[in-house]
Each structure stands twice: as structure tokens, then as C-alpha cells.
Structure 1
Amino acid sequence: MSTEVRNNTQLDRFEISVDGALAGWAEYQDTASERAFVHTEIQVGYQGHDYAGVLLAAALHTSRAEGFGILPMCPTVCRYVETHPEYVASVPAWARPRMGLPQ
């Protein structure tokens, strides 16, 4: 199966497609310096195949490359950051204790 992740800026979300079909998304809200991830959803039928991991890896990598700090407001994104410590530094220091992340 082929996957593609793209930033749908019109809907303020990163989307993952599997073989051309929309499989899920991660919604965000931007400020001047931070991107708050507020909701992540993987469609029924695509769950259990780590498409959320593929989606979030691309979304966080792209956001960081664009110069945004990461605010993992969505529990799925927060768990992803917890298990992928390379993204903790992208969460502003003031937000880490609020998200239960290490300083």
C-alpha cells in the first residue's frame, strides 16, 4: 500500500492517504510561532496499521521545518511526542509541564 501525507492548508490539517483514499488527518491551529495540534483521527478500516504514526511523523517534521513550535493539545499527538523524544525540544518549555512532558 502506498501512503502520502500532505498539508491541506485550506482545512488546517495534515492528511494521510492510503492508495489514494483519505485514511486520516491531524487538525491544527497556527499562531505566529506555534502550531497547536488539536485533533487526530484515523478512519475505521485504517486503524491498527500505524497510519497515525506515519501521519504524525510527517506533520511534526514539516511543522518543525517550517519553524513552528509544537503544541500537542491532542492526546494522540501528545503520546506520540512522549514516545518520540526527538520532538520534545520542539514543544515550548512553558508548555512541557502542562502536557506532562519532560523539561
Structure 2
Amino acid sequence: MTNRIEHKPEQNTFEIYVDDVAAGHADYTQTDGVRDFDHTVVSPDFAGQGLAGKLVTAALDATRAEGLKIATSCSYVAGFVEKNPAYQDLLAA
């Protein structure tokens, strides 16, 4: 199985695909240089495969590359950042 992650800025989302099937997404709102991740979901058909972690990693890496900060309204993203200190520098003050 092949995973692919796409950023769709016009829809304020990152999507993960498994063999070209949409498996999940991480949605955000963006204001004043802060991308607030407010909802992350993986389809039950793809649960337990670590896709949410891959999705959030890619989303945070892209956010860093764009020079933006993050807020974590989504509990999954908040927990991910807490468990992965390498991303804590992205947190907005």
C-alpha cells in the first residue's frame, strides 16, 4: 500500500491517501501567521495503521517550511506535539 499526503490550501486541509483512496484529513484555519489545526480524522476503514501520525507529521513539517506557527485546537495534534518535542517550537505564544 502506498501513502500520499496532499496539502489543499484552498480547502484548509491536508489529506492522506492510501492507494489513491482518501483515508483521512487534518483541517485548519489560518490567521496572522498561525495555522490552527482544529480537526484530524482517519476513516475507520484505515484505523490502526499509523496514518494520523504520518498525516500530522507531514502537515507540521509543511507548516514549518512555510514559516508559520501552530495552534492545537485538535486534541490529536495537541497530544502529538506534546509527545514529539521537535515540534514544540512551532507553538504560537
TM range (shorter): over 0.9
- CA distance in 1: counterparts of 2:28 and 2:86, whole angstroms: 20
Structure 2: runs of 5+ lacking an equivalent: none
1:2 Cα deviation after fit: 0.5
Instruction: Report the aligned-residue RMSD.
Output: 0.8
Bigger proportion of residues as helix:
2
What percent identity do the matched residue pairs reach?
35
Q: CA deviation at 1:32?
A: 2.2
Q: CA deviation at 1:10?
A: 2.3
Aligned equivalents of 1:77 and 1:25: distance in 2? Answer: 12
Alignment size in residue pairs: 93
Which has the greater radius of gyration?
1
**What TM-score comes out, normalization by structure 1 length?**
0.87
> What SS is found at the alignment partner of 1:57?
helix
Indicate the SS of the match to 2:16. strand
AA of the residue aligned to 2:21: A
As a proportion of its length, which structure holds more strand?
2
Q: Letter of the 2:7 partner, please give it.
A: N
Corresponding residue for 1:57? 57
Q: Map 1:39-54; keep pairs closer than 5 Å.
A: 39-54=39-54
Please give the secondary structure, in 2, of the residue aligned with 1:6: strand
Higher relative contact order structure (alpha carbons within 8 Å, sequence separation ≥ 6): 2
Mapped to 1, the partners of 2:69 and 2:29 lie a distance apart of: 12
Alpha-carbon distance in structure 2 between the residues aligned to 1:87 and 1:76 = 14
Structure 1 stretches of 4+ with a deviation exceeding 4 A read none
